[in-house]
Amino acid sequence: MAGVAASETVNADEIYWRNQLLAIRHLRPGTPVPQPRGPLARQLFDDLLHLPDQHDPLPWLQREREPAIALLMLSLIVDFAAQLQAGAQQLRSLPVETATPSAHEQSASYLASVAGLFGQLLTSPAPQGVSTPWGERITETAGADQLVAEMSHLQQQSKLQRELSPNRSQSEPGFKQLLADLLRVPDTVDLLRWLQSERSELSARYVLEYLLRQAFPPVNAFDEKPYTRPSLFPKAHSHITGRLSVSVDRIDFYEQGFAIHLHARISSQDAWRTLKRSTAVFPPQWQGFTSISDDLGHSYLTQLARCERSNQLWWWREQLTLHCYPAVGEAHELLLKSQPTALALYRVPRLGDEIISVPGPSLGEMRVRVPLP
Amino acid sequence: MLYKYALRTQGIAVVFFLLSVLIVSVAFFGTTRTAHAAASSAPGNPMVATITVGMNIDCSSVPNTAQAQSILQQKHLCQYATSSRSGPSPDIVRGRVCGDCGCLILNLFNARGGYLQWNGEITSTQGPIVNASYAGSWTNNNLSTVGPVARSSGLIFTSDWLDIATFYTRAGTIYGRIDTARDTLWWGGTCTNADSVYNYANVT
């Protein structure tokens, strides 16, 4: 894949997911990898694992697996709608004896605020009973018609006026906005084709993340597990252009993997402003090394388990814990890389509880070698 | 080259200067705090401010004994609290509670793939915090599953501590709450939360 030069703007989340896919392909042979739930999800995951490293998975998914990602995306959206309906039903049925007047007010205000997005969808009855989510039962050859029929039923429940070019999820690319758009697609338009032609990039991003997330061991997999060897205190440092300085403080080793504890310092005006009491909800973040490998050529999955951020004068101080999978085995050295080192920026859509990743500054490459005893 | 060297030397000098200011301040205020503590009993001259903004039981440190559980149950505390026993609390959102020390904030976000991003934040209006901690829980309302959350900072020196964690909750409407929070100010004062905070996110 093409390298990214310092000073360009990049999406840190996309870099992270691309690197995790590369890591899954190069795990130590025999390492168990949890499989995504559902036949279509497993098929797509398998396709991605067999894709050559030089192919960027996002354009490839859009180009080569467009119908499949549209189908999986629609499944996830229909599941999301059912979940929202169930949540709204619970809110409406808050027991009078325990709910305070403000609870009813808040509940009414929430339903009113989402009515602009979903019409009468959330005041309609939720599906009865528990069924396997669409995302876990859809296949490439069966179920598409029923899924589209389910989405059409949601459209009818919403009683929304249809629009020729619904565009809420273009400016605010979140799940809620995508559902809001799908509710407004005219009857004459094929919903799956609309997803393919109008939201292919967004669908590819969501689907890639959905598939890879399931390949990770749970983030709390290491909690309270015994150490398998003494912790290491590498005291390794690295920095880039005076903007980011990183120290690897400690590595703990477990049966299933290892945890890297780091601290970082990011120079930013936000920190000083926050110190003076203006709020910075999502200042630039560094989320740790995105690529971890060893001297034997094996890679490790990495996920951010914890990040504490605090402002100190004109910089942000971060304390991070990365969980890496699997255990180091026979390796003698770890190589921690950020290639490129991207600062992550997020925003929250006006009506949403979802973090939207937006491009942030790329600072160049960073590598740290950690010899293992 | 010389210019670079000069810049570096200057940089090091500035760092040393700031470091010494910090050490001197901490040492100075540390000493005076002891002196003030002694002087605080003098009538009309309360040198130590005591900031009290309510107390809650710390559910994370309750002993795991039958007696303790029975008392919690009788008194409807922690996991037996009426408000959290069956899904959402009576109020659905109170993401921020502020007192005379600062604010306790809870924001929850959909991190997708069944993951919840939990942002717990403690801010201070009384000068830097040196350490902070809080305890609470999340509940998946669709699956009726719960998870405890107990977090603490190391030694910090900040007016704004944001703790970001990712929890695997599976998809659903997730309610999170912080019942107890506590921080220690640089001069030794302690702040506790005036009330609990709660919020929700629709995790996909």
- In this prediction, residue A123 has a pLDDT band, given cuts at 50, 70 and 90, of confident
Tens digit of each residue's pLDDT (9 = 90 or more) over A314-353: 788 899 999 999 999 999 999 999 888 888 888 877 776 7
Q: Which residues of chain B neighbour A308 with C-beta distances below 8 Å?
A: 153, 156, 161-164
Residue A273: predicted pLDDT: 61
Q: Is the pTM of this model over 0.80?
A: no
Among A335, A368, A372, smallest CA distance to A251 is for: A372
Does the structure show a pLDDT above 50 at A20?
yes
Q: Which residues of chain A neighbour B156 with C-beta distances below 8 Å?
A: 308, 310, 317
- Do the beta carbons of residue A274 and residue B160 sit within 8 Å? yes
Q: A98–B166: do the CB atoms touch at under 8 Å?
A: no
Residue B88: predicted pLDDT: 44
Strand-pair category, B129-140 with A227-232: unpaired
- In this prediction, residue A192 has a pLDDT band, given cuts at 50, 70 and 90, of very high
Does the structure show a pLDDT above 90 at A56?
yes
Higher per-residue pLDDT: B30 or A162: A162
Residue B166: predicted pLDDT: 87
Q: A308–B164: do the CB atoms touch at under 8 Å?
A: yes
Chain A residue with CA closest to B85: the answer is A98
Rg (alpha carbons) of chain A, rounded to whole number: 23
Q: Which residues contact B53 (CB under 8 A, 6 or more apart)?
A: B99, B100, B101, B191, B192, B193, B194
- Do the beta carbons of residue A291 and residue A301 sit within 8 Å? no
Among A80, A98, A348, whose Cβ lies nearest the Cβ of B90? A98
Tens digit of each residue's pLDDT (9 = 90 or more) over A202-222: 999 999 999 999 888 776 677
Tens digit of each residue's pLDDT (9 = 90 or more) over A231-267: 999 989 998 877 899 999 999 999 889 999 999 998 8
Number of CB pairs < 8 Å for A and B? 125
- In this prediction, residue A200 has a pLDDT band, given cuts at 50, 70 and 90, of very high
Q: A79–B204: do the CB atoms touch at under 8 Å?
A: yes
Q: B171–A79: do the CB atoms touch at under 8 Å?
A: yes
Q: Which of the residue ranges A136-145, A151-160, A284-293, B140-149 has the most confident prediction, judged by mean pLDDT?
A: A151-160
What is the ipTM metric for this complex? 0.81
Q: B141–A84: do the CB atoms touch at under 8 Å?
A: no
Q: What percent of chain A has pLDDT over 70?
A: 90
Neighbours of A295 (CB within 10 A): 14
Among A110, A317, A354, whose Cβ lies nearest the Cβ of B92? A110
Q: Which of the residue ranges A57-66, A344-353, B4-13, B119-128 has the most confident prediction, judged by mean pLDDT?
A: A57-66
Among A232, A264, A278, A259, smallest CA distance to A324 is for: A259
- In this prediction, residue A196 has a pLDDT band, given cuts at 50, 70 and 90, of very high
Does the structure show a pLDDT above 50 at A45?
yes
Does the structure show a pLDDT above 50 at B82?
no
What gap in Å lies between CA B183 and CA B87, rounded to an integer?
Answer: 29
Residue B81 has phi, psi (to 5 degrees) of -60, 140
Residue A331: predicted pLDDT: 94
Q: B142–A310: do the CB atoms touch at under 8 Å?
A: no
Residue A4: predicted pLDDT: 46
CA–CA min distance A314, chain B (Å)? 11
Q: Which two tokens stand for residue B151?
A: 């977090």
**Mutation target among A102, A311, A314 for the B interface, most CBs of B within 10 A:** A311
